[in-house]
Structure 1
Amino acid sequence: MNIQNKIVVVLGAGESGVGAAILAKVKGANVFVSDFGSIKDSFQGELNEHQLDWEQRTHSMDRILEADLVIKSPGIPQKAPVMKAIREKGIKVISEIEFAGYFTTAKKVCITGSNGKTTTTMLIHHMLKKAGLKVGLAGNVGYSFAKQVALEDNEIYVLELSSFQLDDMEDFKAEIAILTNITPDHLDRYEYNMQLYVNSKFRILNNQTAGDYFIYNADDKTILAELEKRSISAQKLPFSLTQEFEQGAYTANKQLIINFNNQFTMSIHELALKGKHNTQNSLASGLAGRILDIRKDIVRESLSDFVNVEHRLEFVAKVCGIEFINDSKATNINSTWFALESMEQPTIWIVGGVDKGNDYSELVELVKEKVKAIICLGKDNQKIIDTFSGHVETIVEAGSAMEAVAYGYRLAKKDETVLLSPACASFDLFENYEDRGNQFKEAVRSL
């Protein structure tokens, strides 16, 4: 893609937007950055450092509609008025990931799925760093892909891709694509139509050829049903907790077995991450490592010494024998299902926020088994109250993390757990899930 002297407009000045603007400038474009909200001070500093032209709290439509190319942040919905105007003018719109992909020859390992994608992404990145490769971490985690392409020289990138990012992809290609699972999530963005969401996830296979790889969860019925309908060009490598494969990865007799590029085995007791879903993440990561010819001892070491990401089943503290766990990153029902399933003590569950079309009934049996009290942490908790009334004796509402933690401390006894696993987005009371998790941790530490 030649953008020399072309007008490139970047919409949204968060991590991805600022990175895209820097890359566009490096490649010789005339760049204008427009954000309808406020731009964080740190991002303003970066834009100024790279002598980029920018505006905030407005969209100057006359300037935006002069663009030869628009790079859109994934958070901006297609229905936004600015997007409507750009479409009517027929201007090409791409994502930061798509844009960066045009300017790198590095290999790309791309991970998507409703759950487990961040853990799998971080685990693979950890493995490749340990192997001594020059590796970038980007997408939904790490730093902007475009910025790294502009300013660094990496031989491989590990990218976590959300369905929103995949929706904006046309020419981008993953040399290794990983699909961890598909469960209903973000259905509000997909007209409450599960097939549209599934299609979005399968876009990770776009442009793959016979020389590329597709690693997928063979225990996921939705993925298997979709594979029946499609012809896949890439080499398929399944992973499973129950089935064995000549080419793929699985568990048998408490062993993790990877059948690719010579067989690799290790005891599942050696894995750093506990729980069935994390065994699946380890299987997918191990497969990616062996495709990339990472030495077996490095694969083994990486899977056994990895430290999980913040806000994902993160132990915060033990106060008077009560354990506090921060799983703020659980923004959908499936994530919370995994969290509750891994609880071994009676649990006080903090849940709620912005509902994305959740069906809480899927959790009822697990809640009856594991949960002794529910603390609702959101502005509108009626759906949660209606679902679990009669199944859980105590349901209370809290308007802040501090209040939720105080309730948890009061309701829990020694050798019980207070779990923040909201199953919802956080935007009603918090900036994002990190802010929610950090406020929770602060409140616990102030007990």
Structure 2
Amino acid sequence: MTLIASDQLKVVIGLGATGISCAKQLAAQGERFVVLDTREAPANLAVFQRDYPEVKVILGPLDPDLLAASSEIVLSPGVAKDDPAIVFAVAQGVPLIGDIDLFCRRITAPIIAITGSNAKSSVTTLVGDMAREAGIDVGVGGNIGLPVLDFLEQPEKALYVLELSSFQLETTHDLRAEVACVLNLTPDHLDRYDNDFQKYYQAKHRVFKGCKKVVENLDDALTHPLVAKQVSITGFRMSESDFNIFGLINRTEQGVPREYLALAKQALMACDEILLPGRHHTMNALAALAIGHQAGFPMPAMLRAVKKFSGLEHRCQLVATKADVNYFNDSKGTNVGATVAAIEGLGATLAIDKKIVLIAGGDGKGASFDDLADPINKYVKSLVLIGTDATRIADAVSFGSVYYEKTMADAVLKSAELAQAGEIVLLSPACASFDMFDNFMQRGDVFSRAAENL
């Protein structure tokens, strides 16, 4: 393909997994396009050029004139849309889209769209499990698992359940979800949003554009959508259930009190039937039930899925028990809100005289750590800090028992010294991993191996 400025030429920016999936889809449709990447040597370059030798690839700084002359820009979520060349092209009227819009153009099946600062992957996976229990041919992907465009290489599903990041939603215009939900909102990725939480909020709320039904978290006012009155809204909360609200209800059986997931005044299943420990997993179950209810899933199928759900790797995952101390890998806790949820969720399961040893730290992405102070002071006995922003965390929480370690292995050894029988060692960093690791998965794996080898 020759590089000719034309109103028929599209531009794909980014040669990561999503960018390649976009390029594959455009090639399959016979579109004329070029691929740009700001990196000098993208990891996937050789394989892409082998598979698509006719596609021109341009590396280095983005060319504003090329972008302005294109018919459409397809932006990978890892590339910020405020690059001056992109801003220039958009100002000239060039449409800026992402992989989700490309996907929506090709399918007719309904979409359940789930976003939020935390618990996206767990709830998305659980909703997918509910659909399968109901006998629905479902595809689960997006920001988790399979890139959405890879679904187009298969026969169309009856339903798609998609986890969507704020970065994906920035360039999504035509989602029109059957059910849309923002699970929760706490500051995250503020380095991407000029330290402006309002921009992050606005990106997340794009999930509601054109949706038919909504699920909102009634414990988090920031998840409430501004939608037309005719849009059906169902809520969930960690307090008493009510009409059209999933929540909790207490029943006494043979003199023993028991807490239940509930809708209105109807008890659905006992909370102690959830396999995963922690109140945050109870909230995830309520969220998934509300989403499935809005999608029309039968209740028996949804409850079967909840009772079977054993969680995901790196998300409050029990990885070892040593000397009666449980080691939990929550490496996916990459922001303060996630770590608060993990501390409070697991802390509430402990005996009154038992505590958590928390391993935290990494790249804080410009966020404030102030909200960690209360849960740490309530549930944590010692804080073991690693990474670039270790001292910032310590300064924010003003906690008495703080230790600094240079490696994850040393942090686990120190935590093992500090924890007593019946207590918990929790890795929940409240930070990104890139200062010390390739990604959060590698960080979690290193923690898990160190715990297993104690």
> Which of 162, 166, 169 is equivalent to 2:165?
162
Partner Cα separation in structure 2 for residue 322 and residue 271 of structure 1: 21
TM-score normalised over the length of structure 2: 0.87
Shift of 1:125: 1.0
Gapped runs of 5+ residues in structure 2? 1-6, 251-258
Q: Say yes or no: does 1:182 pair with 2:185.
A: yes
Instruction: Name the structure 2 match of 1:234.
Output: 231
Per the TM alignment, residue 126 of structure 1 is displaced from its structure 2 partner at its CA by 1.3
1:97-122 CA-to-partner distances (Å, cap 9, x unmatched) read 12211111111000111222211101
Separation (CA, whole Å) in 1 of partners of 2:299 and 2:48: 41
What are the Cα deviations for residues 230-267 of structure 1, in whole angstroms up to 9, with x where unaligned? 6454211111222433223222112222369xx77222
CA change 1:232–1:279 in 2 (3 A) is farther
**What corresponds to 1:374 in structure 2?**
383
8 A contact 2:107–2:156 mirrored in 1: no
In 2: Cα distance, 1:445 partner to 1:46 partner: 39
Q: TM-score, normalised by structure 1?
A: 0.88
Separation of aligned partners in 2, 1:239 and 1:60: 45
How far did residue 335 of structure 1 move? 0.9
1:29 and 2:37 matched: no
Tell me which of 389, 392, 398 is aligned to 2:400: 392
Aligned residue for 1:415, secondary structure, equals coil
* Superposed counterparts of 1:418-433, under 5 Å: 418-433=425-440
8 Å CA contact 2:62, 2:85 repeated in 1: no
Shift of 1:399: 2.7
1:251 is aligned to: 248
Identity %: 30
Q: Distance in 1 between matches of 2:206 and 2:284?
A: 20
Letter in 1 for 2:438: E
SS of residue matched to 1:25: helix
The alpha-carbon deviation at position 149 of structure 1 amounts to 2.2
| Counterpart position of 2:105 | 102
Determine the structure 1 residue equivalent to 2:268: 265
Distance 2:78 2:165 in 1: 11
Q: 1:39 to 1:259 in 2, by over 3 A?
A: farther
Structure 1: gaps (5+ residues): none
Distance 1:251 1:54, change over 3 A: farther
Give 1:47 shift. 6.4
Q: Secondary structure at the residue paired with 2:78?
A: coil
Confirm whether residue 9 of structure 1 aligns to residue 15 of structure 2.
no
- The amino acid of 2:237's aligned partner reads S
Q: What is the alpha-carbon distance in structure 1 between the residues aligned to residue 233 and residue 170 of structure 2?
A: 22
Distance 1:193 1:178 in 2: 22
Query: 2:405 aligned with 1:405, yes or no?
Result: no
User: CA distance change for structure 1 residues 403 and 67 in 2, over 3 Å: closer, same or farther?
Assistant: farther
Match 2:21 to one of 14, 19, 22: 19
Instruction: Report 1:56-75 matches (<5 A).
Output: 58=60, 61=63, 66-75=69-78
Contact 2:183–2:223 (CA under 8 A) maintained in structure 1: no
Name the Cα RMSD after superposition: 2.6
Aligned residues: 432
Q: Which residue of 2 aligns with 1:298?
A: 301
Within a 5 Å distance, the mapping from 1:207-226 to structure 2 comes to 207-208=210-211, 212-224=212-224
Whole-Å separation in 2 of the counterparts to 1:400 and 1:90:
49
Q: Structure 1 133/54 Cα, relative in aligned 2: closer, same or farther at 3 Å?
A: farther
Quote the residue 1:91 is aligned against: 94
Taking structure 1 as reference, are residues 246 and 191 closer, same or farther at Cα in structure 2, changes over 3 Å only? Answer: same
Structure 1 residue 318: deviation in Å? 1.9
